[in-house]
Structures are given as C-alpha cells and as structure tokens.
C-alpha cells in the first residue's frame, strides 16, 4: 500500500515536470519557479552572446514594423553632463530617422549613437527656445564635417510675427555661421554646408499635415508656452502613433488628438518647491514658470489620464535621486498608467505588441560613423586666402611637412603639393 502511494506521487511529479517543460517550450509559461533552473538555462554557452539588458548603439537590427525612440536630451534649459536639453531621435523600421528638437548639449548624445549623418537630415523643432534648438548649429556644421553630404532639412513653426518664426531664426543662424562656413570652403566635401532646407508652417493649424513621405505622416498641434508659436507633433506610421508635446501647458488640442497614442511624450516640469530651493527662484517666479508656462507633475498626470497612451513619457526635469520620487508621487495623484520618467540615453522599442524600455550604453571615445556616399573632393580654387599680413606670419615647415605629403601621396596614388 505504501509502495503504491509513493508510485502515484512520483508519477504526479513526473507528469508535472513534463507539463512544465512543454509549457516553457511553447511559451505558455515564461519564467522558472524560484530555485528551479530551466532546460534553456542549463544550455547557456560560455562563449556565445546572450540577450542584452541594455541597448548598444549600432548593434541591433530594427524590425520592419518597429519604432525605436532614444532620448538624446531630457533635461532643463541649463544643460548638464547628465542631461542635455530637449532632443528625441525616432527611428522607424522603414529606415527613416527623425530628430524632434536639438536642444543645448544634444549633439554629443547624437554623435554617441554612431548613426551616419546622411540618415540624420530631418529635424522638427517644437519652438525656438535654445533648450530646444540650441545645438542645431553643432548638428549642421559637425554633421557636415562628419559625413552628411546633403542639406539639413528643418521643419518649424511660424511665430506671432515674422521675426519670431523658424525661417527668420535659421536664416540668421546661417548668417552667423559665415566665418565657420567660409573657413571650410575648398577644404572638405561642400555638400553638407548648404543652406538649411526650411519648411515653416502655421503654428495655429490643428492636426495639420506637414510631412508625408515613405508611408510616414507627421501632423502638428498648437501648443501653449511662453509666446505664440510653439507646437506639438504627431507621427503616424505602420499603425503606430507617436506624440511629442514639446513644451506646453496642458491644452485641448493635445487632449483630443494625442488620445490613444502608443507613446506620448509630454513635459513634466520640476516641482515648484525644487525650483525655489535648487534653482533659487522666487516663489512668484517658481509658480508662474512651473505651473503656467510649463506643466506641473499633477497636470501632466491629469493629461495622461485623459489621453490614455500605451506609455506616457515625462521629460523636462532634472531626474535625480531626490527629485524623481517626488515627481512620481505627484504624477500618481492623477495618473496610474504606464510611465517612464525619462533620462538621457533611455531607449524604447515600440511594436504593436510590446514596448521595451532600456538604457543605452555608449562609448565616450567614438569617432564619426562612416559616410553613406562617396566623399566629394574639395575644390581648392574656392578657398579664401589669408591676408598678406597673416600669410606673412607662417613659419617655414616645408622640410618636416614634406615627408607627410610623400607618405600619403605614395599610399593613395595622388600628387598633392604643399601650399
């Protein structure tokens, strides 16, 4: 009798083990009970790669139906080593890449991702505060120097007056770079230094299409921030919907048209208390800036409760050990859905079935990525010469420079001569 009882128990254990193993194999079970190693775990190789818990730039394919969003700037108007100002890279499985804002400090983050600059030619500006376009000059010049062989295309809103619009700002930025551009003439591939291709649109237009190429549609919404002019963006592609709010007080347009987004980014400013204590604002300024010009955490949460995205992303605050908890607590008074409190180099992979959140691990010693087109030779005839005064100050270095020319001429089969 006792033997029969143990036989039954052993049989049940065997059946349970078989059910568990089959369940694991076919996906109906997705984790091991504590203390039990799976068959897959026992087969882990000591020499082959495992799945990463982080994102390494230039190391993973993007599926045809997948978006990848990377935070290249999540902080406040005063950029700092941990957080640059506003910048978001959206990569699509069709090969398209879009930058939303290029705030102060963000060009460094963009470079760390090792993306050929020919692919980074489309920039959408939410408004013209420097913490949202302050590194456009660095992307423009640095990108051209590092392999962008085409003009930089920029979309941005008009202003309440012509001189407050994107066209005016970028034309004058181009003029401000006159010495920089002229100093490179005849020395490098000239194609990336051409004037910005600017598309300025009406900031008052609601759900207005400003971009429609390669199956991608981008629309704009008015935003409420500082002056007339700021906007929010909606990207629709392959059944997915991405919304970038820029800077804005919660508004009716966002509430209506951002509803049901797969991912919605909206500003969530630092708390009034921290503005007073850490930024040394007066209480009056902290209240005005933190709750009227920007969006307070409680108001961010209320807006997310209205639009119900698959994932809400909060940005525009310094994400520190002593600020993030307070911001999260305040958001949770009005919103209980999926949430990311963003920080630079955070990565989201978005499909219709899943949103995966990780951090990128970047190499601080990166060099420019490869160009996607053959470089065009410079035209020495267009170089702007030194004045006689400056040219007369050159010290004669021909004897030590000539061996460098000889070496390079022989290696590459060319016949370059010293000035």
Q: What is the pLDDT of residues 350-394, one digit of tens each?
A: 999 999 999 999 999 999 999 999 999 999 999 999 999 999 999
Say how far apart CA 212 and CA 236 lie, in whole Å.
10
Q: What is the pLDDT of residues 242-258, one digit of tens each?
A: 999 999 999 999 999 99
Place 202 in a pLDDT band, splitting at 50, 70 and 90. very high
Q: Which residues pair with 153 in a beta bridge?
A: 122, 197
Contact 215, 240 (CB under 8 A): no
Backbone angles phi, psi at 210, to 5 degrees: -115, -10
pTM of the model: 0.89
Contacts of 183 (CB under 8 A, 6+ apart): 384
Place 6 in a pLDDT band, splitting at 50, 70 and 90. very low
Mean pLDDT for the chain?
91
Residue 1 clears pLDDT 90, i.e. is over it: no
Identity of the highest mean pLDDT range in 15-24, 313-322, 364-373 = 313-322
Say how far apart CA 243 and CA 275 lie, in whole Å.
27
Mean pLDDT in residue range 8-30: 38
- The DSSP H or E segment spanning 14 is helix 2-26
The pLDDT score that the predictor gives to residue 26 is 36
Question: Domains of the chain (ranges plus CATH)?
Answer: 67-359 (3.60.15.10), 385-412 (no CATH)
Backbone angles phi, psi at 18, to 5 degrees: -65, -45
Cα separations (Å) of 235 from 46, 141, 224, 363, 383? 43, 27, 20, 30, 43
């Amino acid at each position: 009798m006792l033997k029969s009882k143990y036989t039954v128990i052993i049989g049940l254990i065997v059946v349970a083990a078989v059910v568990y193993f089959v369940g694991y194999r076919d996906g109906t079970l997705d984790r091991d009970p504590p203390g039990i190693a799976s068959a897959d775990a026992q087969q882990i190789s000591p020499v082959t790669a495992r799945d990463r818990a982080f994102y390494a730039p230039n190391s993973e394919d993007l599926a045809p139906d997948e978006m990848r969003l990377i935070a290249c700037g999540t902080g406040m108007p005063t950029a700092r080593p941990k957080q640059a100002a506003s910048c978001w890279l959206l990569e699509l499985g069709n090969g398209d890449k879009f930058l939303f804002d290029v705030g102060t400090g963000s060009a460094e983050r963009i470079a760390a991702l090792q993306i050929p600059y020919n692919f980074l030619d489309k920039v959408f500006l939410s408004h013209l505060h420097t913490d949202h376009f302050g590194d456009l000059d660095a992307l423009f010049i640095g990108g051209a120097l590092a392999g962008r062989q085409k003009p930089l295309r920029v979309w941005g809103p008009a202003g309440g007056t012509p001189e407050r619009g994107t066209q005016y700002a970028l034309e004058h930025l181009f003029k401000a770079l006159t010495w920089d551009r002229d100093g490179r003439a005849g020395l490098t591939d000239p194609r990336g230094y051409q004037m910005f291709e600017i598309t300025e649109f009406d900031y008052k237009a609601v759900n207005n299409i400003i971009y429609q190429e390669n199956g991608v549609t981008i629309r704009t919404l008015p935003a409420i921030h500082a002056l007339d002019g700021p906007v929010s963006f909606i990207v629709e592609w392959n059944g997915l919907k991405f919304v970038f709010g820029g800077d804005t007080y919660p508004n009716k347009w966002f509430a209506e048209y951002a509803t049901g987004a797969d991912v919605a980014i909206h500003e969530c400013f630092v708390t009034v208390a921290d503005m007073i204590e850490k930024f040394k604002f007066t209480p009056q300024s902290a209240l005005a800036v933190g709750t009227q010009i920007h969006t307070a955490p409680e108001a961010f949460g209320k807006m997310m409760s209205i639009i119900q995205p698959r994932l809400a992303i909060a940005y525009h605050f310094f994400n520190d050990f002593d600020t993030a908890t307070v911001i999260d607590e305040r958001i949770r008074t009005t919103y209980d859905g999926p949430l990311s409190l963003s920080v630079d180099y955070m990565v989201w992979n978005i499909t219709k079935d899943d949103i995966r959140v990780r951090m990128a691990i970047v190499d601080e010693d990166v060099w420019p990525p490869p160009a996607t087109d053959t470089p065009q030779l410079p035209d020495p005839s267009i170089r702007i010469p030194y004045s006689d005064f400056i040219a007369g100050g050159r010290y004669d270095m021909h004897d030590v420079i000539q061996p460098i020319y000889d070496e390079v001429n022989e290696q590459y089969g060319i016949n370059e001569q010293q000035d």
